Amino acid sequence: MTADLPRLHDLLDSGSALNWVCTGDSITHGLSHTLGARNYVDHLHELIRGDLERVQDVVINTAISGWRVVQLLEDFDRRVADWHPHVVTLMIGTNDCSTGGAFPVIEPVEFAASVTEFVARVRALGAIPVLQTQPSVDAANAPERARIADFAQAVRDVASAADVILVDQFARCTAVGEGRQGGIPWGLMNDPFHPNAAGHALLALDIAETLELTAGPERDRVLPLLRTLVHAAR
């Protein structure tokens, strides 16, 4: 277990108000594809400031649709540093793996180097980085993103090498898709690579479980709701 998880819980137990910054691409941005429902950052906000009663905490979503990790590095101050974070979550790679569009094609090793740089910058701020692999995609209908598994593995490798908390969304989504046509978790998706409302519920649930964010039974509202949303979509 990474040393950052006990450190996170020491911060939570300290009673200090925390700033949580969630950044990445369109999946974290969370527009449109939930059809008006909450995205995963919204669910985390409800969990942290509601169920956990951390009312002085701030949960900020700075993700931008269509972005790659190099753009986050170029705009690091506005995306991350300016908010004086204590915890920074990153989900990136669904665009980085693409072989279509205006961006140059990059290899997983280049992507991993940029994610490693992102982690280093977060730690230089004194914040705790949390890496997420990307959700799985329907490669038959998004062939330009067929390399997504390689980029998910790159995130795992960075997390292992840098001793970073990892939320393996790709593995969880892939497991949900097992036994389904094409191995795709259709009930969690709005299009070939964007999660729907149930997909975002699963993403939030994975983060909460990995970070061990649980409320007492008298205030445990969000996690049961997320589990219900995910179960209904399977």
Mean pLDDT for all residues in the chain:
94
The pTM of the full predicted model, rounded to 2 decimals, is 0.96
Asked if 67 and 102 count as a contact pair (C-beta separation under 8 A), the reply is no
Task: Give me the residue label for tokens 């997420």.
Answer: 132
pLDDT band for position 152 (cuts 50, 70, 90): very high
- C-alpha to C-alpha distance for 166 and 159, rounded to whole angstroms: 6
- Could you tell me the CATH number of the domain that includes residue 115? 3.40.50.1110
**Is the pLDDT assigned to residue 218 strictly greater than 90?**
no
Evaluate if residue 172 carries a pLDDT over 90.
yes
Counting the structural domains of the chain, the total is 1
Tens of pLDDT, residues 46-76: 999 999 999 999 999 999 999 999 999 999 9
Residue 69: closest CA among 168, 174, 154: 154
Is the pLDDT assigned to residue 159 strictly greater than 80? yes
Please list, in sequence order, all residues whose beta carbon lies within 8 angstroms of the beta carbon of residue 116, skipping any fewer than 6 positions away: 158, 161, 162
For residues 33 and 31, give the distance between their C-alpha atoms in angstroms, rounded to a whole number.
6
When pLDDT is averaged across residues 32-40 and rounded to a whole number, the result is 90
25, two tokens: 């691409």
Which amino acid, 64?
I
Say if strands 87-91 and 128-132 run parallel, antiparallel, or are unpaired.
parallel
pLDDT, one tens digit per residue, over 179-197 is: 676 678 888 998 888 999 9
pLDDT digits (tens, 9 = 90+) for 92-127: 999 999 998 878 999 999 999 999 999 999 999 999
Mean pLDDT of the 205-228 span: 94
Phi/psi region, residue 227 (left: phi>0; alpha: psi -120 to 50; beta: rest), is alpha
Q: What pLDDT is recorded for position 182? A: 66
Domain hosting residue 198, numbered range: 4-233
